[in-house]
């Protein structure tokens, strides 16, 4: 289980990676899709990591608001008091 799940659109990967590094420097465990290996069932891994995380941070940008995945992850986090 990670302390923080980071939701973002691939276009914002650099921002998400910097955020993850900052959170880790503060001693938190962080999950974002950089952890997915080739050949893994990515949608199940994301769903499990999202459910298991203590908190969710969404990297909102002009690009991410258009992403159905980011909006769904944010909705899940809000509904489960993790956002």
27-45: pLDDT as tens digits: 999 987 666 666 666 777 8
Buried-exposed string 10-24: b where 16+ CB fall within 10 A, e elsewhere: eebeeebeebbeebe
Contact 17, 57 (CB under 8 A): no
The whole model's pTM is what? 0.88
Taking the CA atoms of 8, 11, 21 and 18 in sequence, report the sign of the dihedral they define. negative
> What is the rounded average pLDDT of the residues 70-79?
96
Contact 10, 70 (CB under 8 A): no
Residue 12 CB partners (closer than 8 Å, separation 6+) = 59, 61, 63, 64
């Amino acid at each position: 289980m990670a302390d923080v799940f980071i939701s973002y659109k691939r276009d914002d990967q650099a921002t998400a990676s910097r955020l993850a590094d900052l959170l880790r420097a503060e001693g938190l465990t962080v999950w974002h899709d950089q952890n997915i290996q080739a050949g893994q069932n990515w949608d199940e891994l994301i769903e499990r990591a999202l459910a298991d995380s203590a908190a969710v941070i969404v990297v909102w940008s002009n690009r991410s608001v258009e992403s159905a995945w980011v909006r769904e992850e944010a909705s899940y986090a809000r509904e489960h008091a993790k956002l």
